[in-house]
């Protein structure tokens, strides 16, 4: 094991330094969880991961305790504009929650275990359900910018290329070597979203579909978009899957929601160029609705 840097308590005690699988030890996760438990009396059983531009979800929590990632021992730092980089404990509709205002993407560090670090900490905190939100590009021709998609399944493109968040030695304290992934997105939670959305009058522009993760950070080529659509993906994004795989590995229930922030370009004659500003603009327009949906359903989980 590498010696810990004396300059910061954040540096992971990586037991294997080669990317993309530089690993943390069980004791690293425990240390972070213990520090958090020592610094707040709140004991969340729901975790919410806010995607690009969706961090304001955390603003509606009451009785908040906020920790900047940089102050939490061993916690990674997020580097993407639109990600605040803080962990917010609080109540949402009376439910104890912990909210990640800013997540980690594989393209930020090329370390898949850094991306999933918070999920294992959540497991040690006693979290039973995670709600993962993300910004995604619409591949399905019947979708529109601003639509919301309940994730019913995913395609793990980096996983196909050998970058899976469960690669490396398995730690049985988190879960089994070969976990099932055909039930990754909880059926009851998906039904609950549909019911809640109906009650809130959000029926148009709500879909259920397949999320495909690509590593990023560039947006997809036209040929890639066509290929992903042929594979059965409805939206494409650069996040979510590593966290979901690790959540399921340790038995946490998952609900995934994608906000279609842009339609991808699939036509060689199109002048449209997907860009991050467009993604953030759409999240700004739709964040209130997503907030309402997540708040209402959190009280019913
Ligand atoms: N592609 C990949 N990731 C994304 C997109 C996209 O079009 N939009 C938002 N995140």
What would the two tokens of residue 65 be?
């305790």
- How far is ligand 1, taken at its centre, from the CA of residue 238, in Å? 7
Cβ contacts of 189 within 8 Å, gap of 6 or more: 129, 253, 254, 255, 297, 301
Nearest residue CA, atom 2 of ligand 1? 237
Q: 31, 52, 207, 211: which is the annotated catalytic residue?
A: 52
> Residue 18: helix, strand or coil by DSSP?
coil
Burial class (CB in 10 A: 0-12, 13-18, 19+), 298: buried
Q: 45 and 127 in contact (C-beta within 8 Å)? A: yes
- In tens digits, the chain (301 residues) has pLDDT values of 333 333 344 555 555 556 667 789 999 999 999 999 999 999 999 999 988 767 788 888 999 999 999 999 999 887 766 567 899 999 998 899 999 998 899 998 889 999 999 999 999 999 999 999 999 999 999 999 999 999 999 999 999 999 999 999 999 999 999 999 999 999 999 999 999 999 999 878 999 999 999 999 999 999 999 999 999 999 999 999 999 999 999 999 999 999 999 999 999 999 999 998 888 889 888 888 888 899 899 989 8
H or E element at residue 117: helix 117-125
Q: What is the pTM of this model?
A: 0.91
Q: 69, 78, 83, 197: which is the annotated catalytic residue?
A: 83
What would the two tokens of residue 54 be?
């969706």
- How far is ligand 1, taken at its centre, from the CA of residue 16, in Å? 31
CA distance 184 to 150: 13
Is it true that domain 26-298 has CATH number 3.40.640.10?
no
- How far is ligand 1, taken at its centre, from the CA of residue 269, in Å? 20
Domain layout of the chain by residue ranges: 26-298
Question: Is 238 marked active-site?
Answer: yes
Give the pocket of ligand 1 (CB within 6 Å): 135-137, 219-220, 236-238, 261-262, 264, 274, 279
pLDDT 10s digits, 219-261? 999 999 999 999 999 999 999 999 999 999 999 999 999 999 9
Question: Is 149 marked active-site?
Answer: no
Nearest residue CA, atom 7 of ligand 1? 137
């Amino acid at each position: 094991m590498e010696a810990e840097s004396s300059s910061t308590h954040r540096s992971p005690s990586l037991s294997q330094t080669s990317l993309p699988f530089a690993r943390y030890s069980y004791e690293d996760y425990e240390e972070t969880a213990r520090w958090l438990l020592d610094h707040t009396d709140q004991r969340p059983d729901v975790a919410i991961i806010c995607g690009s531009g969706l961090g304001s979800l955390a603003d509606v929590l009451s009785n908040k305790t906020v920790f900047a990632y940089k102050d939490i021992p061993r916690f990674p730092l997020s580097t993407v504009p639109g990600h605040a980089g803080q962990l917010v404990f609080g109540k949402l509709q009376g439910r104890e929650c912990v909210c990640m205002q800013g997540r980690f993407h594989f393209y930020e560090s090329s370390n898949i275990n850094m991306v999933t670090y918070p999920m294992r900490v959540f497991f040690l905190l006693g979290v039973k359900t995670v709600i993962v939100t993300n910004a995604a590009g619409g591949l399905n021709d019947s979708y529109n910018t601003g639509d919301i998609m309940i994730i019913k399944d995913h395609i793990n493109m980096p996983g196909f290329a050998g970058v899976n968040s469960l690669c490396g030695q398995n730690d049985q304290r988190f879960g089994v070597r070969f976990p099932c992934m055909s039930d990754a997105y909880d059926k009851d939670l998906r039904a609950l979203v549909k019911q809640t959305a109906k009650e809130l009058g959000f029926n148009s522009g709500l879909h259920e579909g397949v999320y495909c993760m690509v590593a990023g950070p560039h947006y997809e080529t036209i040929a890639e978009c066509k290929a992903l659509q042929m594979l059965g993906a409805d939206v494409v994004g650069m996040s979510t899957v590593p966290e979901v795989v690790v959540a399921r590995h340790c038995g946490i229930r998952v609900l995934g929601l994608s906000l279609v922030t842009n339609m991808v370009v699939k036509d060689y004659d199109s002048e449209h160029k997907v860009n991050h500003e467009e993604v953030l603009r759409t999240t700004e327009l739709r964040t209130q609705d997503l907030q309402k949906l997540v708040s209402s359903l959190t009280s019913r989980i």
